[in-house]
Amino acid sequence: MAEERGSGVKIILALLGVLLLLVITPIILFLGAGDEKDSDPYAPCLIEGTPIGDASNKDESSVKIPEQYRDATENSARTAGLPVGIIAAQIEQESGWNPKATSPAGAQGIAQFMPGTWEEWGNVKDPFDPFAGLDAQGRYMKHLAGQIADLASNEQEKIQFTLAAYNAGAGNVQKYGGIPPFEETRHYVQTIMDNAQMDYSSDCEAPGGFDFGDLSTGEWAHPMPSSRLTSPYGARACPLSSCVGKPFLLKHEGIDLAGSDPYFYAPTELKITYVSVGAPDQLYGSYGNYIFAQMTEAPYLVFEFHEAQDHSLMVKTGDIVQKGTPLGKPGATGNSSGIHIHFQINNPKTSVFDRPAVNNGKTYDPIPILRQQKVNIQ
Amino acid sequence: MKHPKIFSGLAAVGIVVAITGCTPATQGPEESIVPVISPPASSPSSNPSESSSAGEQSHDHGDENPARVELAKQAATIMTTWDPTKDFNRTAAEMRARKLMTKERAKEVIAPKRPATGVEWLNAAEKKATSKPTVKLMTEHHEQDTIAITATWQWVTEDGESWAGEGKQTFFFTFTDEEPYKIRDYVSSVR
């Protein structure tokens, strides 16, 4: 009798267990689906839990593209053949997603079309209709991208040149063979590229990627954590009465970092391929004390560190250093007037196994690369 | 601050590139047994005795020509003083600074096709505000022959309302050799 009662209880418990599973499983699945839905690929890039872009100034860190415009923005980007983050960053820059925005110069609507341009691209719709504006933006950007396509050698350039064409006109991009040397146009392209990466890419991916291949997802170390950017990559002022025939004077091939850090560090695991020998080195007058190094894994980017303090280099040719290893002390050797480090990232094709040469490989703006690896340069 | 300012180096480049130009595009590190160096258990920066070591070879950065610094500040101020109700775009302010440049550089100040846009600009226009910049010499900048000026700004209305502008703009100026100095060239960054 007692055994029968015991087996009855077991059956009841088993039935209750099955019922519980039937109830809980859908709840778990529902919650899981909810988590997936909340994962927004166009959310701001977070570094150490903090948005690093414009979103840090606003109380809207989790969602950047207003929900009502998400589909239209994605469609616009698809039409243009550009990343969603680029179209989103453009709209943010143009109107701050305000469909009623009007500029004193006459630009109208969410995408700030000028009346003449809207006449051509607006399909006879209301310029203050945000969906018509986003649709027209996609078609107009596609048109511009087609006009500059032959000039671009990679996806990133295609995006940059299209943005430049939007700001300065495709004729100027063609005339200069790339981004025209107009300060405002340079700033426009830079701002949209930066904001697309920082405000509209939850994984901090640089728009258009890089032509050297994919980077691993591992985070890098900051080359100088307490430093400040004192000279950016790219165009710089000619110091001579004429720089005609001296294009190397008009471009900064890396970034300068200065701050209170006693050392500069390896951002990722590197093989040290060349360490200079102080004043006897042929390039000392220009580079100061310097190090060349290469990633130990794909994409084998080449790194340069220049202007280190005399007798401060802590590695030697052939060493393999782990991420975060101090390499030397910032200095003011070479052609500089104050303590800093010049940090440069070169294409993997750069020569690294013998005395490095001046400008012997294509360089990249280190900041988008570092940000993608969760290192923010201020 | 690197670059090939050295022409002798450039001569070497040709030789080196010729020698190394066949380096495979995806060439990895040489395969050999090499020492591996690790980061320290604790950050070197946590050692107070070492934290000032960079200062051992401190360079005085106060040696810029005062007249050039003043010219650079004046230019940066003009270039970041905007009236959004009148200026078609931000380049309009750069145009106003052309008087401080060489004729050759002044000719190269070109405005883009688009008008200035953005929430900051539109808000300022709506309130009829103008920008009032604050400019500072960037003493941490270390490129010889170049003066860097950082500009930030407030938007101010006629009735006294004001608010902080967004971001900053850093200018890098070079100058003619003789007084009275002119701006020979410049670039700027909004990062």
Residues A85 and A185 in one domain: yes
Whether A21 is covered by a domain: the verdict is no
pLDDT at A137: 98
- Tell me the percentage of chain A whose pLDDT exceeds 90: 69
Q: Which amino acid type is present at position B141?
A: H
Sign (positive/negative) of CA torsion A302, B20, A284, A278? Answer: positive
CA distance B151 to B189: 10
Higher pLDDT, A65 or B51: A65
Query: Is pLDDT of B66 > 70?
Result: yes
The number of distinct structural domains making up chain A is 2
Higher pLDDT, B16 or A278: A278
Q: How far is CA B57 from the centre of its chain?
A: 24
Would you mind telling me the total number of residues written for chain B in this entry? 191
Query: Is pLDDT of A16 > 90?
Result: no
Residues A61 and A195 in one domain: yes
pLDDT bin (cut points 50, 70, 90) of residue A126 is: very high
Cross-chain Cβ contact B115/A103 below 8 Å: yes
pLDDT at B69: 96
Q: Which of A92, A94, A205, A253 is catalytic?
A: A94
| Domain finish residue from A161, A181, A199 | A199
Cross-chain Cβ contact B184/A238 below 8 Å: yes
Whether A2 is covered by a domain: the verdict is no
Identify whether the C-beta of residue A64 lies closer than 8 Å to the C-beta of residue A55.
Answer: yes
DSSP A157-171: HHHHHHHHHHHH-HH
Q: How far is CA A258 from the centre of its chain?
A: 21
Nearest CA in chain A to B19: A351
Q: How far is CA B46 from the centre of its chain?
A: 31
Q: Which DSSP state fits A229?
A: E
| Domain finish residue from A182, A199, A216 | A199
Report the DSSP pairing between strands A320-321 and A270-275. antiparallel
Query: Is pLDDT of A212 > 90?
Result: yes
Residues A163 and A256 in one domain: no
Query: Is pLDDT of B147 > 50?
Result: yes
Whether A193 is covered by a domain: the verdict is yes
Number of Cβ atoms within 10 Å of the Cβ of A142: 17
Q: Which DSSP state fits A250?
A: G
Q: Across-strand partners of A258? A: A228
CA distance B53 to A311: 12
CA distance A110 to A91: 7
Q: Which DSSP state fits A340?
A: B
Residues A325 and A259 in one domain: yes
Residues 201 through 230 of chain A touching chain B, CB cutoff 8 Å = 221, 225-226, 228-230
Whether A205 is covered by a domain: the verdict is no
CA distance B139 to B12: 34
CB-closest option in B56, B138, B144 to A335: B144
Residues A355 and A278 in one domain: yes
pLDDT, tens only, B104-137? 999 999 999 899 888 999 999 999 999 999 999 9
Instruction: Say if A343 is an interface residue toward chain B (CB within 8 Å).
Output: no
Number of Cβ atoms within 10 Å of the Cβ of B41: 5
Mean per-residue pLDDT, A120-133: 97
- Tokens 């950016």 sit at which residue? A232
Domain encompassing residue A90: 53-199
CA distance A189 to A187: 5
User: What is the CATH number for A159?
Assistant: 1.10.530.10
CA distance B168 to B152: 5
Tokens representing A227 are 């430093």
| Lowest mean pLDDT segment, chosen from A278-287, A367-376, B144-153 | A278-287
pLDDT, tens only, A235-248? 999 988 888 888 88
Considering only the C-alpha atoms of chain B, give the largest distance between any 2 of them, rounded to a whole number of Å.
Answer: 73
- Chain A residues with beta carbon closer than 8 angstroms to that of B52: 262
Kindly report the backbone phi and psi dihedral angles of residue B73, in degrees, each rounded to the nearest multiple of 5, phi listed first: -65, -40
Q: Which amino acid type is present at position A56?
A: S
Residues A292 and A336 in one domain: yes
pLDDT at B157: 97
Residues A85 and A194 in one domain: yes
Residues A341 and A248 in one domain: yes
CA distance A173 to A181: 10
Identify whether the C-beta of residue B70 lies closer than 8 Å to the C-beta of residue A250.
Answer: no
Whether A47 is covered by a domain: the verdict is no
Whether A19 is covered by a domain: the verdict is no
Residues A151 and A248 in one domain: no
Residues A168 and A285 in one domain: no
Give the A:B interface size as CB pairs under 8 Å: 315
Cross-chain Cβ contact A320/B37 below 8 Å: yes
| Domain finish residue from A199, A218, A248 | A199
Q: How far is CA B4 from the centre of its chain?
A: 19
B113: nearest Cα among A33, A216, A170, A73: A170
Identify whether the C-beta of residue B184 lies closer than 8 Å to the C-beta of residue B105.
Answer: yes
Domains of chain B, start order: 63-190 (3.10.450.230)
Instruction: Say if A63 is an interface residue toward chain B (CB within 8 Å).
Output: no
pLDDT at A241: 84
DSSP A70-125: HHHHHHHHHHHTS-HHHHHHHHHHHHTT-TT-B-TT--BTTTTB-HHHHHHHSTT-
Cross-chain Cβ contact A306/B23 below 8 Å: no
CB-closest option in A194, A229, A318 to B34: A318
User: What is the CATH number for A336?
Assistant: 2.70.70.10
Identify whether the C-beta of residue B127 lies closer than 8 Å to the C-beta of residue B161.
Answer: yes
Report the DSSP pairing between strands A251-252 and A363-364. unpaired
Query: Is A219 known to be catalytic?
Result: no
Residues A194 and A246 in one domain: no
Identify whether the C-beta of residue B98 lies closer than 8 Å to the C-beta of residue B109.
Answer: yes
Cross-chain Cβ contact B51/A329 below 8 Å: no
- Ranked by mean pLDDT, the top range of A268-282, B41-55, B87-101 is B87-101
CA distance A45 to A61: 9
Half-sphere exposure of B29 (CA within 13 A, CB side): 25
Residues A269 and A173 in one domain: no
Average predicted confidence (pLDDT) for chain A: 87
